[in-house]
Structure 1
């Protein structure tokens, strides 16, 4: 292939036609590959439990018969779904008709004849039929999948439309399934919450050309360029060209266009996109992304045939920033950066793991910033991409973590590895994501301290993550029993600020924590690994229970406050201890919101601050 750089008028015209991805409203389900036309299928669907697993034999794939109504995408355990039945229901069914108006809204036309049916997430194993014919299957409860259903909806079917039926299988007792914080008991207990079964992220239709842009992967390529991989759906004719036009919306500045000519049919194209203005090292920070200045660069990626005729175009965005570790520090854009993070479960009282709305995801990000944090650890959940969009746009560093499985076996290894690879592939382009976390507290590798097989698994998945994305640090096993980790992360719920301060005071304290038995009571480094001078972060601490107003009888935290003043004083003392440390490179407070029986949030479950926001912010930031 050949690569050229030039100012292309037609690419600039495409920018005028397509919406700027960096300024979207946050409702589009896939924010870094934006099209003008799409149709949501969220809302009322038919629904049936199938506890006896009789639906397949009874022919439910062609229609559910007597059914109740559910509101998609809220899980049937939640009140928002209208079902609100949290017990054990391992098989559930959904049905909804796609009508001509849905296909028109999705943009189906002669220029965009192929119809894609997207599912944001279905927990855990999904099978989809249209008009009784199998359309596709997917395994993995936290990652998106897409089905090309063009052949199934080739005609408008008149007033009857086309019936979509979804069967979801989610065995609550199958410990090989990655599940995160979903409880295996019927009632939520300890740190685990109500289960999420079936459809729990948005379902939507989209029409695309016969050959279309299917996926974009943006990664940094030094201070003045980015690498892009474009993946296609459908055949790419030899001689086709890919163009990438960049614009910095803050100044309406044209950053140039790159064109790649393919010499053969290929499912992907790789190119390096230079950003000429970044060659001026004295001015490069005017365009870089950080929590303080979350600048985003808009892009239009277009595909053209050998004659230059347009085939497909999408708008996207990227952030120009670099990540690394060195001299005991976490590095952002080459400089040490103090990470001030909060643990975010991403769980709502009425809708569980599903956000109540796209606006709720924006508000979640805004609250994190308002409370004084520059980062969040999305805990045991692969979060909705629309939250990641607001993290990109508002400036929040994100720890991206896989939901754990609880059993160690070949099946568990295969399932978690496959789902984690899908998650990394989906989210790799978000500038807000700054670390990958494939394990937490030895979940699924409970004997990693001594078991060579579990040690091999932990090392392998950590290294596999680096192979998929060499641009970000990887945390091997957050909090406990780490091996080949880029950041040493410690979990410590000591409630006394004075004690915590001594524990993390200086180099001698670091040696005790990292080189020996950590506050968790476990060895911090295992498998023959020794302290290599990595950054050390306290990635779970705090967890102070305080319940203003009505007190929940089963509510708890790791320690408890008597009243609001005592609560703020405890938070301040613990943060003062962290700030006084001579070696901690960052921290993560537990947690953002109360979550079911865990009443140790800075906010209530309804996202209301327990004391005025200014008081919490002063405690977190130390700014008096």
Structure 2
């Protein structure tokens, strides 16, 4: 059972875990399921690829007697895709969107004896307008599509709050000024004016301690973290910046009082990092220094539990293994990852390019649903210093006519400007892979590095990485949509590699014939295991030899179902000595 507190950047000490055994109903069957693992996974106890679009969860619970007199919040990390929630047969609300959290106040529905919760889920498996990422709508996984995931897949929990309480807090660092702006929202039930206390510490050192009387529910405070004004620019605080090499986090304790009484009403723990990502002269900079991105594609799948990690340490271990191989970050692919992964990325020092699960068929309604959910992603993950790029669309999925279609181009542009309008601290990619509109990074995908003995393709791949005008020769589609063009952005090879190890002789698999054949051992190119390191070195060093490329993202971290092109197995075990991969990756610092 997943037992860790689910929301690591907004922690309350009092809470009750509702993960564990629930009743589960699908079709005419009633069985038991282990939440938060989806029924299609082994860890759920069901391990069945169901065909039903509707499923139901039920369980009993008792709320601690000492919570009486407070509001009780029922929290869901994520439920795929649409649900209605009942407490003691009363419908308390619903939610649409499979990637993002939601909550309901439930105190007025409680009996303060044994309570019943019921969650009715609808997940139309064949609806191509729903953001579902890599979840396949057919009976068996094939090509780059995987087992679907229905229902609750992130934790469920309760927590008590007073009438005056905090709803959210955002930290916006500015390393040039040495400050952090703290914005926070109080619940609309809060007694105003109320006093809010802030304590910021770095390890054992107190950085700031103060309070303010709040007359409105939303408030803001800017804190001089580096004390630049006091020192008149006579210092350089490189050591206090967050980076993969030095992941310094500031701890924050926020307390809201009941009015101006001095009586504590709510206490939340959080953290932030002083980090800056920006573009200058066609290069990517981290904390005002050029920084080469060595990323690995991470799809966030586990053999026994699919899109939910078996336990919290699995997130930690994946990051540690990627870092041991010399990667400084990942591109999360077609999935909004659990906040616990982002916590470990913050703590361990690991860059994250965060993306959204794609939909497949464009309609204005699908675009609107995608956008609403994407807004919740930014709201949820705003505080994580590890997140340096927002990447919404991928390879024109959901916008298949974007090259010439003005409506689909406008949709991609609207996502780009919306993300910048909500968050000024990160870079944004409109359509990762090709057919880009406005974008901070020229993010291209290419698996045309050639098979191991194809010297002619090797040379072509190397030559095309040296000139912008030649990139399209090694891409499946043109880099930019019609009417848009390259204008000096940093170029990053955001998908490449995908090399699988041959187990038996087979025909060469391309993306197209693999889709038709449903190959169960698939990669973009293949080599014997004895040749893998040499082939990996050839690819990475070819990329490094290009002055045009500012970083790469190797496909991929782990094998996933029929895709056997991971650096780790489906069990997330090393295929090679990590130091051998690191030696290759470390050629460029």
What's the TM-score once normalised by structure 1's chain length?
0.87
**Residues of 2 paired with 1:337 and 1:508: CA distance?**
19
Determine the structure 2 residue equivalent to 1:57.
none
Tell me, yes or no, if structure 1 residue 137 matches structure 2 residue 94.
Answer: yes
Q: CA deviation at 1:72?
A: 0.7
Deviations 1:302-361 (A, max 9, x none): 212224332212111000011111111111111110000000000011111111111211
Quote the residue 1:524 is aligned against.
479
Whether 1:274 aligns to 2:231 is: no
In 2: Cα distance, 1:508 partner to 1:619 partner: 20
Residue 600 (structure 1) aligns with: 565
The 5 A counterparts of 1:296-335 are 296-304=249-257, 305-335=259-289
Q: Which residue of 2 aligns with 1:510?
A: 468
Q: Secondary structure of the equivalent of 2:266? A: strand
Q: 1:96-175 to 2 correspondence within 5 Å?
A: 96-100=59-63, 103=64, 108-110=67-69, 113-153=70-110, 155-157=111-113, 161-175=114-128
Kindly tell me: are residues 506 and 352 of structure 1, through their superposed partners in 2, closer, same or farther at Cα, counting changes over 3 Å?
Answer: closer
Q: Matched residues in 2 for 1:547 and 1:149: separation?
A: 55
1:261 to 213, 216, 220: 213
Question: Number of residue pairs matched?
Answer: 568
Determine the C-alpha separation between the residues in 2 that align with 1:557 and 1:505. Answer: 24
The answer to whether the Cα contact below 8 Å between 2:164 and 2:191 also exists between their aligned partners in 1 is no
Q: Match of 2:337, SS?
A: coil
Equivalence map 1:3-402=2 (5 Å): 27-50=4-27, 67-100=30-63, 103=64, 108-110=67-69, 113-153=70-110, 155-157=111-113, 161-223=114-176, 224-249=178-203, 252-263=204-215, 265-266=216-217, 268-278=218-228, 282-304=235-257, 305-402=259-356
| Equivalent pair of 2:175/2:274 in contact (CA under 8 Å) | no
Instruction: Please report how far the alpha carbon of residue 277 of structure 1 lies from its aligned counterpart in structure 2 after TM superposition.
Output: 3.2
Q: 1:375: how far off?
A: 0.6
Cα distance in 1 for residues equivalent to 2:157 and 2:3: 15
CA deviations over 1:108-167 (Å, ceiling 9, x no partner)? 255xx11111111100001100110011100001111111111122x422xxx1010001
Report the counterpart of residue 590 of structure 1 in structure 2: 555
Distance in structure 2 (CA, Å) of the matches to 1:210 and 1:71? 33
The answer to whether the 8 A contact 1:504-1:584 is kept is no
Deviations 1:359-404 (A, max 9, x none): 2111122112112100101100000000000000000000000000
Once the two structures are superposed, what CA deviation does each residue of 1:49-76 show, in whole Å capped at 9, x if it has no partner? 038xxxxxxxxxxxxxx72101111101
Secondary structure of the residue aligned to 2:393 is coil
Question: Among 522, 525, 537, which residue is 1:559 paired with?
Answer: 525
Aligned-partner SS, 2:371: helix
Contact 1:213 1:230 in 2 (8 A): yes
1:63-95 per-residue CA deviation (whole Å, 9 max, x = no partner) reads: xxx721011111011111111111322000000
Q: What are the within-5 Å matches in structure 2 for residues 463-502 of structure 1?
A: 463-496=417-450, 499=457
Unaligned runs of 5+ in 1: 1-24, 52-65
CA contact (8 A) 1:398 1:433 kept: yes
| Runs of 4+ that moved beyond 3 A | 276-281, 495-508, 547-553
Contact 2:334–2:357, Cα closer than 8 Å, also in 1? yes
User: Structure 1 residue 546: deviation in Å?
Assistant: 1.3
Any idea what SS the aligned residue of 1:261 has? strand
How many angstroms does 1:503 deviate by? Answer: 3.9
Distance 2:50 2:567 in 1: 29
**TM-aligned CA deviation for residue 461 of structure 1:** 1.0
Contact 2:208 2:223 survives alignment (8 Å): no
- Report the 3-state secondary structure (helix = DSSP H, G, I; strand = E; otherwise coil) of the residue aligned with 1:589: strand
Q: Distance in 2 between matches of 1:143 and 1:398?
A: 17
Instruction: Decide whether aligned partners of structure 1 residues 278 and 356 sit closer, same or farther in structure 2, where only a CA change above 3 A counts.
Output: farther
Residue 570 (structure 1) aligns with = 535
Q: Which stretch of structure 1 is more off in the superposition, 83-92 or 404-413?
A: 83-92
The answer on whether the counterparts of 2:464 and 2:473 sit within 8 Å (CA) in structure 1 is no
Three-state SS of the structure 2 residue aligned to 1:178 is: coil
Q: CA deviation at 1:520?
A: 2.1
Match of 1:18 in 2: none
Q: Equivalents in 1 of 2:84, 2:410: separation in Å?
A: 33
State the alpha-carbon separation in 2 of the partners of residues 319 and 500 from structure 1.
41
Distance in 2 separating the partners of 1:549 and 1:302 = 62
More deviation, 594-603/283-292? 283-292
Instruction: Give the Cα–Cα distance (whole angstroms) in 1 for the partners of residues 228 and 339 of structure 2.
Output: 28
- Three-state SS of the structure 1 residue aligned to 2:419 is helix
CA gap of 1:508–1:347, structure 2 versus 1, over 3 A, is closer
Q: Which runs of 5+ in 2 are unaligned?
A: 507-517
1:242 Cα offset (Å): 2.2
Q: Which segment is superposed worse, 203-212 or 287-296?
A: 203-212
**Whole-Å Cα distance in 1 between the matches of residues 399 and 144 of structure 2?**
18
Asked if the contact 2:465–2:549 (Cα under 8 Å) also holds between the matched residues in 1, the reply is no
Structure 1 vs Structure 2 CA RMSD = 2.3
Equivalent-residue separation in structure 2 for 1:182 and 1:278 (angstroms): 50
Q: 1:614 to 1:76 in 2, by over 3 A?
A: same
Partner residue, 1:412: 366
Query: Is the Cα–Cα contact under 8 Å of residues 505 and 583 in structure 1 kept in the other structure?
Result: no
Determine the C-alpha separation between the residues in 2 that align with 1:201 and 1:313: 24
Residue of structure 1 equivalent to 2:514:
none
CA contact (8 A) 2:325 2:578 kept: yes
Within a 5 Å distance, the mapping from 1:536-547 to structure 2 comes to 536-546=491-501
Closer, same or farther in 2 for the Cα pair 1:86/1:261, shift >3 Å? Answer: same
CA deviations on 1:482-530 (whole Å, 9 max, x unpaired) are: 01000001101123487557545589612322xxx35223221124222
